[in-house]
């Protein structure tokens, strides 16, 4: 069976450990991960979520 490449809002929120309402606010404000609309359905690509998470990494200075 093919792997599910797109997640709905609930599954995406769980994947990123944020509330679904946070995703909604991010979409409204133009922030957050890239999303797609299939009709009225909002979906997030797993590959886009992985890239978003990688870009969100924060480097710490030595000694902190």
The answer, as to whether pTM is greater than 0.85, is: no
How confident is residue 61, by pLDDT bands cut at 50, 70 and 90?
confident
* pLDDT tens sequence across 13-39: 999 999 999 999 999 999 999 999 999
The H or E element containing residue 22 is helix 20-29
Nearest-angstrom CA–CA distance, 29 and 8: 19
Mean pLDDT value across residues 30-56: 95
Mean of all residue pLDDT scores within the chain:
90
How confident is residue 3, by pLDDT bands cut at 50, 70 and 90?
low
pLDDT of residue 1: 39
């Amino acid at each position: 069976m093919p792997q599910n490449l797109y997640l709905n809002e609930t599954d995406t929120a769980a994947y990123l450990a944020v509330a679904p309402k946070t995703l909604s606010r991010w979409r409204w404000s133009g922030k957050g991960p890239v999303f797609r609309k299939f009709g009225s359905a909002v979906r997030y690509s797993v590959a886009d979520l992985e890239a978003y998470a990688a870009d969100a990494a924060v480097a710490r200075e030595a000694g902190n």
